Structure 1
Amino acid sequence: MVYTYPQKVRKILRIAIPSAANSLLDIIVLALGMAFMGRFGQEYLVALSVSTQFVMLFFALNAVFYVGTNAQISRLYGARDSQSARLAFSTLITLCLLCSAPIIALAFLLISPFIAWMEVSPDSSALIEVFLLITIWSIPAMLLRNIIVSAFAAIGDTLSVFIVRIFSTGFCIGANIVLIFGLELDIVGAALSGVLTYVLELGVFAWLVWKKGRFFFESWRLVLEWRYVKAALRIGIPAGFERFLTLGSLVLTTKFIASFGDLAVAGSQIGMRIEAFVLMPGFGFMVAAMALTGQNLGAGRIQAAMDLHKTILQIASIIMGILGVLIAVFAIPLSEIFYRDEQVAQIARWYLIAVGFSQVPLVVVFVLDGVLRGAGITKLSLVLNACSVWGFRILPIWLGIWCGLGVWWVFVMIFIETYIRAFVFYLAYKKGVWKKQGRF
């Protein structure tokens, strides 16, 4: 099958735009949380930022379930095998439920060592502990929700998910305002609103599955088919481990920055929140690349997949390049939305210049990583990401700080490493390994 250019653009944007909009809603909630906590002082700002880093580590588990679901169901959707898709979906839901209690226990045991390792101020440390002891209870709901989101993305229906997310985001913002300011619960209110939102969202998504998920859902019958567990773990574990190493590198980078003081942490975290708005389309294009690769491989359409990859890269590079320049140019006024301090704004500016002018290579990484994941080649993705991030970013940052270089060195290495990683992913893609996967 050969798609015309308008057909390719429509197929891509039909998946990418709602996926990007979902990311936007997540980012809005995080940004508002930062703005709300900023009203109580820098220790609250640091506490929320560091707490978010801890929760992000569990996104590695989310990657196991998300990628394991998407890669299987998108391939089965391309092959029009709904019976197998239903068994795969039910198996992953069951597996997630079985893992919930151990995940919460692990999170609880890691809170104190994580706070001690981050070495932030005592006031910030106390607030982090309060926030995390409440937030960890939302992790199972988060994982179950994302299995459902992944299944809908695999069949190309990201619009339904976006509609649900609009509703839940409105609820979350309202709950934050009521609990943080109305009931004067400050950071406790922020944590409670997050837990309530995830639980509500999971309930609405379960209803959505019942109404619209007929390709991969028949009844709430829990099954555990070993072949789908094996496939999910074979694909998902490398993706999860890669996500853990990537997120771990972000946490370690925050720790490096923390050695320059709380203001440096606040500035870099504000920069990350601003960059998150720009990353929104990038995540959408990655989901599109993942789903369309799986669907076309399932149907045996290699050339169609290649044409779609080329179009995704063209559109994504233009959009991300423009957005990157904008955040670099307007770094100071954007950072002052969150917190007004000259030193904080300057550090946020350094960060945004570094990431702003490396958005094009970053979206190349996102898209080609999505191709490899959609093809089920997550081990290669793991190797490429881990070697680049830890070899060309973390190690040079550590050496630079050890040699006495300032916080600016961190941002220089972030910039350089992004270009290196994009080049490595491009070489891997040109080798064509993803074409050889065939069907599961």
Structure 2
Amino acid sequence: MSNRLLIDHDESWRSVAKKVTKLAFPIILSNLLYTIESAFSIILVSGLSATAVAAVGYSASMLWFIYSLMALSYTGTSVLVAQMTGAKKDPSPALLWGLILSILTALPLTFTGTNLVTFLMGEFGASKGVTALAKEYLDPIFTFIIVGFITNTLYAAYNGYGDTKTPFKVALIMNFVNISSAYLLIYGNLGFPRLETKGAGWGIALSELVGLAVYIYLYIRGRKPFPICLSFSKDVLIKILRVGTPTALERAFSSLSFNIFVGFLASFGDKVLAAHQIGLRVESASFMIGFGFMTASTTLSGQNWGAKNYAGLDYGVRITAHVTALTMGFMGLLLLLFPHYFSLIFTRDSQVIRYAVYYLVIVALSQPQMAYASIYSGALKGMGKTYIPLGVNLISFWLFRIIPSYLLLRQFHTPLVPWIFMSFEMSMRAIIFYWAYKREIAKFLSSRTKGGRCIKVQPEGIKK
């Protein structure tokens, strides 16, 4: 298997950083494409109304709650493919079971997704105008939700195997389809029907259909990540469920908690909610960098875990964390220096811009902490310890973000309260994740010592 990413714990940090960056860079580009795609939808609908911005932005946030179910197949497939690749085993069963699970979990959402999301938005404080426009946006997305789940599982298999370039190329095509179709359908350009917010939803749906078509074409043409053998091992299914279920629960509860948190901001009116969504879109440029390195850390961790190369795993994760923190710290500096100009990209409403600037200045200070939290969380998932991020994220989110925000909002009625606690909570989460990761990896590093001396393990496949 040529895509094994094993780390020698005696390698130079430059060599390791180069390997990780090479793995992460296409993922970062793919995620930045998604950020551009999402931002373009916001920019286009901003010409309709502030309510349309709030509807599309809030719907996108709520979709993360629905997409949490995708983590069952995505995380299970990615981690198992990485571990089996590292152990030189056939990863086919992981992909096949992942595809089956993605179809089974997405099917009910085809019929119930739109009503569920709009109901939750209303319960969390969104106005009737926002929920009405959100329904128009969500209908096309849920019509083809199964397609989205399948393409995501295929994406996970490529990443787990260590091929991050192919998914980037597919994402590039999907991005073009989304932006161009949304441009044509929102305002009815070039003779197409004017669908307004529904046009933005059709942009996403059409891009998912094209993405799946491209993946099928690549498999037919032999550009699959690894040969597919029809093997349905029950042991692999059990492992996928054991690894993927905690992550699905984590993302479901975290997303639900996040939208409860957004509900605090919705109570201040559509303009504050629009400012929050704009701030999220601007910050997502930094977040997607962290997410790309987190995915790389999961692959690196999973492959070295499968190869029982624990010292290399720890060394690689440590360097990945520092590289990510440096990169996201730079992005935070940009947010701190130019918040007004970034906000102007999305709106000309002076009140929305003022609140968006407050948001960006506050979150700029927590970008390095987000980096460390992301990398150590990704490393734990690669090790198969997905139950730990489940516990850490839930406890941290409620203890340091939601509960303090709720209590202080009763005394100080300003959106600055939840935004400040959002930044504070991320710092606490980073500390907890670092401690949890060090505790887990120490158990396996100690198994490689004898008589107080470290026994060097030369991972197979590494040339010196």
**When the two structures are superposed, what TM-score results if normalisation uses the length of structure 2?**
0.89
Greater shift in the superposed pair: 163-172 or 267-276: 163-172
How large is the RMSD of aligned CA atoms in angstroms? 1.8
Mean CA deviation greater in 105-114 or 89-98: 105-114
Moved beyond 3 Å, runs of 4+? 433-438
Q: Distance in 2 between matches of 1:70 and 1:435?
A: 24
Which digits, 9 at most, give the CA deviation of each residue in 1:371-410, with x for residues without a partner?
Answer: 0000010111111111001111011111112234311111
Amino acid at match of 1:217: I
Q: How is 1:380-395 mapped onto 2 (pairs within 5 angstroms)?
A: 380-395=388-403
Letter aligned with residue 429 of structure 1: Y
User: How far apart, CA to CA, are the structure 1 residues paired with 2:111 and 2:147?
Assistant: 15
Are positions 1:243 and 2:251 aligned together? yes
Moved more, 248-257 or 284-293: 248-257
Q: CA contact under 8 A between 1:16 and 1:284: conserved in structure 2?
A: yes
Query: Pairwise mapping of residues 167-186 of structure 1 onto structure 2 (< 5 A)?
Result: 167-181=173-187, 182=189, 183=192, 184-186=194-196
Asked if the contact 1:377/1:434 (under 8 Å) is kept, the reply is: no
1:256 aligned partner: 264
- The Cα of 1:369 is off from its aligned counterpart by 0.2
For 1:138, give the aligned amino acid.
F
Q: Which amino acid aligns with 1:215?
A: F
Which residue of 1 is the match for residue 212 of structure 2? 202
1:419 alignment partner in structure 2: 427
1:436 positional shift: 4.2
Q: Report Cα offsets for 1:306-357 as digits up to 9, x if no partner.
A: 1111211121111110110111221111111111122211211111112111
Which string of whole-angstrom CA distances, capped at 9 and with x for unpartnered residues, describes residues 151-178 of structure 1? 1111111011111111221121111111
Match of 1:357 in 2: 365
**293-302 vs 209-218, which moves further:** 209-218
**Structure 1 match to 2:202:** 192
Q: Of residues 316, 331, 352 in structure 2, which corresponds to 1:323?
A: 331
User: Which residue does the alignment assign to 1:215?
Assistant: 226
Residue correspondence of structure 1 range 279-358 to structure 2 within 5 A: 279-358=287-366
1:165 aligns with 2:171: yes
Secondary structure at 1:178 match in 2: helix
Deviations 1:280-322 (A, max 9, x none): 2101110111000111111111111111112111211111101
The answer to whether 1:8 aligns with 2:16 is yes
Larger helix fraction of residues: 1
In the aligned structure 1, how far is the partner of 2:233 from the partner of 2:89?
16
Q: Which amino acid aligns with 1:212?
A: R
Distance 1:366 1:214 in 2: 26
**For the Cα contact (< 8 Å) 1:30–1:273, is it kept in 2?**
yes
Q: Which of 143, 154, 164 is the equivalent residue of 1:148?
A: 154
Deviations 1:20-69 (A, max 9, x none): 11100100000000000001111111111121122111121122211101
Q: Work out the percentage of aligned pairs sharing the same amino acid.
A: 27
How many residues get paired? Answer: 433
Structure 2 segments unaligned to the other structure (5+ residues): 1-7, 448-464
Structure 2 contact 118–131 (Cα < 8 Å) conserved: no
1:132-164: CA deviations, max 9, x gaps? Answer: 222212321111111111111111110111111
8 Å contact kept, 1:375–1:434 = no
**Conserved in 1, the CA contact under 8 Å of 2:333 and 2:364?**
yes
Match of 2:69, SS state, is helix
Q: Which runs of 5+ in 1 are unaligned?
A: none
Match of 1:98 in 2: 104
Which residue identity lines up with residue 159 of structure 2 in the other structure? A
Q: Distance in 1 between matches of 2:367 and 2:390?
A: 21
TM, length-normalised to structure 1:
0.94
Distance of aligned partners of 1:156 and 1:114 in 2 relative to their CA distance in 1, 3 Å threshold: same
